[in-house]
């Protein structure tokens, strides 16, 4: 709990300072684009919330390094160092708006390579015998690992569209990681998970529901990288943990990304990275919240923004909860992965065709 408390305190205070003095740096840090297809705020807001999260984790890492009673200080420091390229690429984009998605993805791949080198954090099994034989080849294992880490980091960035959405989903996932790591006796993952929960919570208080600050690309890529690496290392270090546990835990952002690629490339014939306004969270906002809450003034826009996120929290929980309960049962995990994908597609098509389930409709 010490790492949680330290990370929370640092994140809370740093984020507060960023907000308090936003008038000084708003010309650099604020998101002034209010009209993009994925923009749902009414006023310029700082989008550097990831800074407080990274510094908070670093503070918790310093304490863990000097205490180091369980040998977690050094690997935590190496993990934080590995995350630097992914975070910096996103953070520079937050400040300059000049780092392309391809460059951010490349930086995250570099982070994954560094983590594989420093911590041997690689995907070496997926609990399917003939595929595990292929993963025994270092080159194949390395390629799959790099693609998986970059994909998860990008997936967290994709779902970062509304106040509290990505941050709450990530906190639920880190709680799950902490629980499973505790069950198998992995102090490194427990420490990192609690530190990340505290760091994200310190940001979340200022982000939801008031929207005083945004996570930004730096924060989203950093959180995604840490989730991916913690999942990989937990499976790598603990044979009793099914390789499908982190897949189910992360299935909401992963499937959101894969479905978006399918929708763009196959249905629309545009590049996979082409921005659009028909993600599931966007549809919930446009076809449920927009008509449920008031006018176009700033107060109502903010309320609609914040009311969108709980729907997706619940959707993610439908995957995170069974992943946490059945972390060592491959068959049940695979069943829930299939059920989630069916549920997602069914829900998406109902909303896109203006046939939203009654339980999702908010009445005025």
Report d(CA 306, CA 165) in Å as an integer. 8
Distances (CA, A) of 251 to 154, 245, 255, 321, 322: 13, 10, 6, 12, 12
132 is in an annotated binding site: no
Nearest to 31 by CA among 22, 65, 58, 177: 22
- 141: three-class secondary structure by DSSP: helix
Nearby residues of 47 by Cβ (< 8 Å), 6 or more positions away: 29, 30, 31, 94, 213, 214, 215, 216, 217
How far is the C-alpha of 264 from the C-alpha of 300, rounded, in Å?
31
Strands 30-31 and 45-46, bridge-based pairing: antiparallel
Q: Is 217 annotated as a binding residue?
A: yes
Find the helix or strand (DSSP H, E) in which 12 lies: helix 2-20
> Pick from 71, 57, 255: which is nearest to 152 by CA?
255
Q: Which of 94, 62, 92, 105 is nearest to 80 (CA)?
A: 62
Kindly state the DSSP code that residue 363 receives in the 8-state scheme.
Answer: P
Segment holding 31, helix H or strand E: strand 30-31
What H or E segment, with its residue span, contains residue 46?
strand 45-46
The residue assigned the tokens 């975070």 is 87
What is the three-class DSSP state of 129?
helix
**209: number of Cβ within 10 Å:** 13
Annotated binding site: 157, 217
Annotated binding site for Mg(2+): 157, 217
């Amino acid at each position: 709990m010490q790492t949680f408390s330290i990370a929370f305190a640092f994140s809370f205070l740093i984020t507060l300072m960023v907000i308090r003095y936003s008038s000084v740096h708003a010309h650099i840090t604020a998101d002034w684009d209010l009209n993009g297809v994925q923009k749902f705020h009414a006023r310029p807001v700082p989008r550097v919330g990831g800074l407080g999260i990274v510094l908070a984790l670093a503070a918790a890492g310093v304490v863990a390094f000097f205490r180091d009673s369980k040998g977690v200080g050094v690997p935590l420091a190496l993990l934080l160092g590995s995350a630097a390229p992914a975070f910096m690429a996103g953070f520079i984009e937050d400040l300059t708006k000049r780092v392309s998605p391809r460059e951010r993805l490349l930086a995250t791949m570099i982070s994954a390579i560094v983590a594989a080198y420093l911590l041997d954090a690689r995907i070496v099994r997926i609990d399917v015998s003939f595929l595990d034989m292929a993963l025994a080849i270092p080159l194949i294992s390395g390629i799959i690992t790099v693609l998986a880490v970059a994909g998860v980091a990008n997936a967290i960035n994709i779902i970062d569209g509304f106040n509290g959405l990505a941050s709450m989903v990530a906190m639920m996932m880190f709680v799950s990681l902490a629980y499973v790591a505790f069950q198998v006796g992995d102090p490194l993952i427990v420490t990192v998970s609690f530190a990340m929960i505290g760091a994200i919570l310190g940001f979340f208080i200022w982000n939801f529901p008031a929207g005083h600050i945004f996570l930004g690309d730096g924060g989203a890529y950093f959180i995604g990288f840490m989730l991916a690496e913690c999942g990989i290392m937990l499976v790598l270090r603990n044979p009793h943990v099914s390789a499908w546990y982190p897949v189910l835990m992360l299935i909401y952002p992963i499937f959101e990304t894969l479905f978006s690629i399918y929708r763009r490339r196959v249905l629309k014939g545009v590049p996979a990275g082409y921005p659009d306004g028909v993600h599931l969270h966007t549809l919930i906002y446009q076809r449920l919240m927009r008509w449920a809450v008031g006018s176009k003034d700033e107060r109502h826009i903010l309320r609609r923004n914040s009311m969108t996120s709980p729907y997706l929290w619940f959707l993610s929980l439908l995957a995170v909860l069974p992943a946490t309960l059945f972390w060592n049962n491959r068959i049940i995990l695979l069943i829930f992965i299939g059920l989630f994908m069916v549920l997602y597609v069914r829900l998406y098509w109902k909303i896109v065709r203006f046939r939203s389930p009654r339980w999702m409709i908010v009445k005025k």
